[in-house]
């Protein structure tokens, strides 16, 4: 894999009472990247997950800027006034402020599990700032109507593990109303399917990004 530049830092956003949010970032060794991928995470995870399974490095090696944040109260990000109770959609402005603070430009969002409470409102309220959407069995999909989904033209790659019979299939039944979507079902993989088969996960994400 080609060399990539890796760094850590924190950003402050108003929605969290200006409490710092921790992030990890990788850049292509050239330093130039046309597209930024913002990686969110589930409740038992953090930005470290994407470091451990090589997603941050893989994206940067393929020419993308990759930023993985620790969501409020998880990983290295302190519990601040949370933008919303767990399981309820957070204000879409939260990820807009994160993107602005990180100067991402229109961003690709990778959003597993818990992070659906943040990514879905951002997608619906600020779709012009979402270059593409990669949901991985996110929560909160049932909080929005088929009409809301069908109004979003953002390209989406819906990913879930075929062993995730609960959230995987439930989220798909809602997300399939996004008009511009593809589906990848990862064989033999559970709810955090990217952990079970990082190689298949990385190939699916890179193939999708290259199609944008």
Spatial CB neighbours of 111, under 8 Å, sequence gap ≥ 6: 40, 118, 119, 120, 133, 134, 135, 136, 138
Integer-rounded Cα Rg, in Å, for the chain is 16
pTM of the predicted structure, to 2 decimals: 0.94
Which of 89-93, 149-153, 166-170, 205-209 has the weakest average pLDDT?
Answer: 89-93
Residue 69 has pLDDT above 90, yes or no: yes
Nearest to 87 by CA among 9, 140, 141, 143: 140
User: Where does the pLDDT of residue 84 fall: very low under 50, low under 70, confident under 90, or very high at 90 and above?
Assistant: low
Q: Which residues carry out catalysis?
A: 113, 164, 191
- Domains in the chain: ranges and CATH: 5-210 (3.40.50.1820)
Q: What is the DSSP letter of 95?
A: H
Predicted local confidence at residue 2, as pLDDT = 52
Q: Which residue has the higher pLDDT, 68 or 73?
A: 68
Question: What is the tens place of the pLDDT at every residue in 19-54?
Answer: 789 999 999 988 778 899 999 999 899 999 999 999
Question: What is the tens place of the pLDDT at every residue in 108-158?
Answer: 999 999 999 999 999 999 999 999 999 999 999 999 999 999 999 999 999
SS3 sequence of 119-131: HHHHHHHCHHHEE
Residue 1 has pLDDT above 50, yes or no: no
Q: What is the token pair recorded at 56? A: 């941050």
**What number of residues does the chain have?**
212
């Amino acid at each position: 894999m080609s060399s990539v530049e890796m760094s850590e830092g924190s950003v402050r956003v108003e929605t969290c009472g200006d409490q710092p949010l921790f992030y990890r970032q990788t850049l292509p060794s050239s330093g130039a990247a046309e597209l930024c991928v913002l990686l969110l995470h589930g409740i038992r995870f953090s930005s470290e997950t994407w470091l451990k399974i090589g997603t941050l490095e893989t994206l940067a090696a393929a020419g993308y800027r990759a930023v993985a944040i620790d969501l409020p109260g998880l990983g290295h990000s302190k519990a601040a006034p949370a933008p919303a109770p767990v399981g309820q959609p957070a204000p879409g402005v939260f990820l807009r402020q994160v993107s602005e603070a990180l100067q991402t430009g229109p961003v690709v969002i990778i959003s597993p599990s818990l992070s659906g409470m943040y990514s879905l409102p951002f997608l619906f309220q600020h779709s012009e700032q979402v270059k593409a959407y990669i949901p991985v069995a996110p929560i909160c999909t049932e909080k929005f109507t088929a009409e809301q989904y069908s109004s979003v033209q953002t390209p989406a790659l819906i990913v879930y593990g075929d062993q995730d019979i609960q959230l995987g299939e439930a989220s798909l039944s809602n997300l399939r109303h996004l008009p511009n979507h593809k589906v990848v079902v990862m064989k033999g993989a559970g709810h955090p399917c990217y952990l079970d088969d990082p190689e298949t996960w990385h190939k699916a994400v890179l193939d999708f990004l290259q199609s944008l």
